[in-house]
């Protein structure tokens, strides 16, 4: 008779290891605020902050994503904000100040306040492809019928 004790021990070890790893390696799913630097303002006294760093321009939007790399949809459209790259902080600025900064740098608000293609549509395309591959893999394939021939 075959000894089943090593098989049970190995399966118990694998089960406990998988539970431990799944508890440690959770994939984050949900909404998050995303800050993307879109323009580096010149490092002059005009754009110097109180902490000694310099102001830049960034877009801030809220998206629903999976594992921080698969954005599924945009919850809040992007808006232009002031951005301190060293401290990773953003500053909501009044429209008059933002318009003055854009005018001094000869920039258009509509050109800077856009989301990249992958953020807007790419996550949806990747998710649809994954779902399509899962469905395609679940559909059983027809096997070709082999007929014997006499030689």
Residue ranges making up the domain that contains 50: 27-136
Question: 38 lies in a domain?
Answer: yes
Q: How many domains does the chain have?
A: 1
What is the pLDDT, as a whole number, of residue 75? 93
Question: 11 lies in a domain?
Answer: no
Question: 16 lies in a domain?
Answer: no
What is the pLDDT, as a whole number, of residue 78? 94
As a three-state string, the secondary structure of the chain is CCCCHHHHHHHHHHHHHHHHHHHHCCCCEEEEEEEEEEECCCCCHHHECCCCCECEEEEEEEEEEECCCEEEEEEEEEEEEEEECCCCEEECCCHHHHHHHHHHCCCCHHHHCCCCHHHHHHHHHHHHHHHHHHHHHHCCCCCCCCCCCCC
Split the chain (151 residues) into runs of 10 and give each run's mean pLDDT.
66 63 73 93 90 92 90 92 92 92 90 89 90 87 82 78
Question: 149 lies in a domain?
Answer: no
Question: 82 lies in a domain?
Answer: yes
In whole angstroms, give the CA distance from residue 82 to residue 93: 7
Question: 6 lies in a domain?
Answer: no
What is the pLDDT, as a whole number, of residue 5? 73
């Amino acid at each position: 008779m075959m000894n089943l004790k090593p098989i049970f021990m190995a399966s118990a070890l694998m089960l406990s290891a998988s539970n431990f790893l799944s508890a440690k390696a959770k994939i984050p799913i949900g909404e998050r605020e995303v800050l993307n630097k879109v323009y580096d303002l010149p490092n002059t006294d005009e754009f110097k902050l109180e902490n000694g760093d310099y102001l830049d321009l960034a877009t801030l939007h809220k998206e629903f994503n999976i594992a921080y790399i698969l954005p599924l949809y945009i919850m809040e459209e992007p808006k232009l904000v002031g951005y301190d790259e060293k401290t990773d902080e953003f500053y909501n600025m009044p429209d008059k100040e933002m318009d003055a900064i854009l005018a001094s740098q000869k920039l258009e608000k509509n050109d800077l306040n856009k989301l990249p293609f992958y953020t807007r549509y790419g996550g949806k395309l990747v998710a649809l492809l994954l779902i399509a591959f899962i469905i395609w893999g679940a559909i059983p394939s027809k096997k070709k019928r082999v007929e014997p021939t006499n030689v």
